[in-house]
Amino acid sequence: MGFSDLKLVYVVSCVVLGLIIVAPTVAEFVVLPGGERFSELWLLGQGRMAEDYPFNVRAGESYGFYLGLGNHMGGLEDYLVFVKFRNQSESLPDSVNGTASVLEPVFEYRVFLGDGGVWEREVRLGFEGVVFDGNVCRVSRVVLDGVVLSVDKVAVWDSVNKGFYCQLFFELWFYNSTLSGFQYHDRFVGMWLNMTVPS
Amino acid sequence: MSLSSKKLVKLVFVALAVFLFVASVVRCSVYAYTGDEAYARMAEADGSLRQAFGAVADAAGAGANVSGLTFELDAAGGLLAQANASYRVGDFGNATLFAEQSIGSLVGVVQEAGNLKAAADSDRLSQLGWTASFSSVGLSLLFVLGLFGWRFLRNRYFEGVLEMRPEEAAGS
């Protein structure tokens, strides 16, 4: 090894060592870009699995399922989960345009979650004032976690799928500080419910 | 004024006070809130929640552990959600009640979040100070040892060169 080579190796070694020594201080100021930022919203059945969801339902009974929410947005988030109830002819959120359903929410969950946090709760669902009249079924009230909510929906007999179908769905919104208001997060989950006659 | 008259006046005052207290309680219990009043209380609760969220988010951004405060925000948010549900079905009394409970549950949250943020900022500054100190000392040591090391290495190199003997090529 020549003298100039030795000099070069020595200087490079010193520079690398210097960078290693300075790295912890630099790391205090440099913020590296995080990964993909997103939120999760899910529904699970009674056994906390993706099965055994309430389907054939009737008035006066109570049904359980789990609603969950996960935050991977990189900070504390203020979420709003709107609960909406519709029949087959009413609108769902538009996944293509990313717009929420125009239906009024019947209930809401307000959740504050830190980054990486998960919120999950068991939801109890029931129905009151379910009246069958020919090929229509009128649902007056939904009971969610013991809170009686007026919905007043009419489900028409579906001759193809053989049932009176309604859908309970959950839309995820989050607080956008730039807009100073809640913004639809383009995520929703729901379950179809077949209203049946009490035995 | 005789003693009995004084007692009588005292009795009348006490009776009057009791009457006023009972009347105010009865009045409160039968007071029905209007939709506007409920809406105003709910808006106030939402404002409080927003303010508390901002403070807690700032504290979280500064690196403070805000899990306890998040729990309080959740509770207040749940109460406000119930207020909204009551309002939608026209139960303005319960809507107002839940909104007031939500406001009440947030008392002290902003201040606590501020304290946590200040503590987190202080911890961060302290940590930064220590890290910068270690880096400075490390760089200084590297500089000094580097100079000595280079001198040592250079001398060893030249000693090695001077000790070298010319070798005769085979067959010459």
Domain ranges of chain B: 32-162
In this complex, the residue of A18, A25, A111 whose CB is nearest that of residue B131 is A25
Q: What pLDDT does residue B172 have?
A: 52
Q: What pLDDT does residue A35 have?
A: 82
Tokens 């009995």 belong to residue: B4
A51: part of which helix (H) or strand (E)?
A: none
Query: CB–CB of B45/B103 below 8 Å?
Result: yes
Which of B91, B141, B150 to mutate: most A Cβ within 10 Å?
Answer: B150
B96 Cβ neighbours under 8 A, 6+ residues apart: B33, B37, B38, B41, B42, B83
Q: Cα–Cα distance between A83 and A103 in angstroms, integer?
A: 10
What parts of chain B have a pLDDT lower than 70?
1-3, 23-31, 167-172
Domain ranges of chain A: 1-32, 38-195
Which of A5, A19, A21 to mutate: most B Cβ within 10 Å?
Answer: A21
Q: What is the pTM of this model?
A: 0.76
CB atoms A147 and B70 under 8 Å: no
From residue B172, alpha-carbon distances to B166, B167, B168, B169 in Å are 13, 11, 7, 6
Could you give the ipTM of this predicted complex?
Answer: 0.78
CB atoms A75 and B60 under 8 Å: yes
CB atoms B131 and A14 under 8 Å: no
CATH tag, A38-195: 2.60.40.10
SS3 A181: strand
Closest CA to A80 of B38, B81, B15: B81
What parts of chain A have a pLDDT lower than 50?
none
Task: Determine contact: B120 vs chain A, CB below 8 A.
Answer: no
Q: What pLDDT does residue B156 have?
A: 87
The residues pairing with A86 across neighbouring beta strands, listed in sequence order, are A167
CB atoms B157 and A3 under 8 Å: yes
Looking at every residue in chain A, the average pLDDT score rounds to: 91
Q: Cα–Cα distance between B20 and B17 in angstroms, integer?
A: 5
Q: What pLDDT does residue B41 have?
A: 94
Q: What pLDDT does residue A156 have?
A: 94
Closest CA to A116 of A80, A68, A76: A76
